[in-house]
Amino acid sequence: MTLSPSIRVKICGLSTAEALDAALASGADLIGLVHFARSPRHVDLETGAALSRRAKGRAERVALLVDPDDALLDAVVEALDPDWIQLHGREAPERAAAVRSRTGRRILKAIGVATLADLAQVADYATAADGVLLDAKPAPGALPGGNGHAFDWRLIREAGLAPTFMLSGGLTPSTVAEAVAATDAPAVDVSSGVERAPGHKDPDLIRAFVTAVRGASARPGN
């Protein structure tokens, strides 16, 4: 993840023009469109294409996929024209590299974290992906992401990770400043933390989240 003077903000799981416009107006750096049928934030390709066009040139567009095959990759790239592809399944480093080669898009690989050992995977994707997103590891049978759970942020410092990751998992307007202070995260991602119900974004919460991150960016040391 490329570092910038301020902490980069990704609002993920956007599915309506109203929510997207709130994210863009608030100054989000990246917006995420989920194409995964099991998710309450799933958007079909037609809807996703319209939202992607609306965001083009105003924020970086991320298509979130879970263990996509090549046919799905081709369809998503054609319809959504994303700047990034977020791989949120069990994609091995070799698959992440192959997706990048096939699509020509930057790759953000999600890594589920529950223990210190999970963070060892970060090094495995150093050359296969353009960035890693650290999320709470889901419980068996749960969705691969967007579950609103945080992991122990102290693990990041314990692992000695360089601040080149995106932090996700259970972040909210009231907790994101604490999370940034605890991890030195240069980028943060939120989905369920700015929703009034699963899959239904709240524009006021989106604005509050971005405002909280910008406040954390302005603090000494950030």
Give residues with Cβ within 8 angstroms of 79, minimum separation 6: 45, 46, 48, 49, 52
For the domain that residue 35 is a member of, what is the CATH number?
3.20.20.70
Specify the higher pLDDT residue, 20 or 222.
20
In-domain check, residue 37: yes
Domain span at residue 198 reads 8-211
pLDDT for 4 equals 42
**Within-domain flag for 199:** yes
Asked if the structure places residue 3 within a domain, the reply is no
Cα distance between residue 106 and residue 112, in whole Å:
20
Q: Which two tokens stand for residue 221?
A: 């040391």
At 83-135, the pLDDT tens digits run 999 999 999 999 999 999 999 999 999 999 999 999 999 999 999 999 999 99
Does residue 101 lie within any of the structural domains? yes
Phi and psi at 165, nearest 5°, equal -125, 165
Whether residue 183 is contained in a domain is answered as: yes
pLDDT reported for residue 3: 34
Overall average pLDDT of the 178-191 stretch: 96
Q: Is residue 117 part of a domain?
A: yes
Give domain status of residue 220, yes or no: no
Structural domain contains residue 1: no
Residue of 154, 148, 211 whose CA lies nearest to 177: 211
State the total domains in the chain.
1
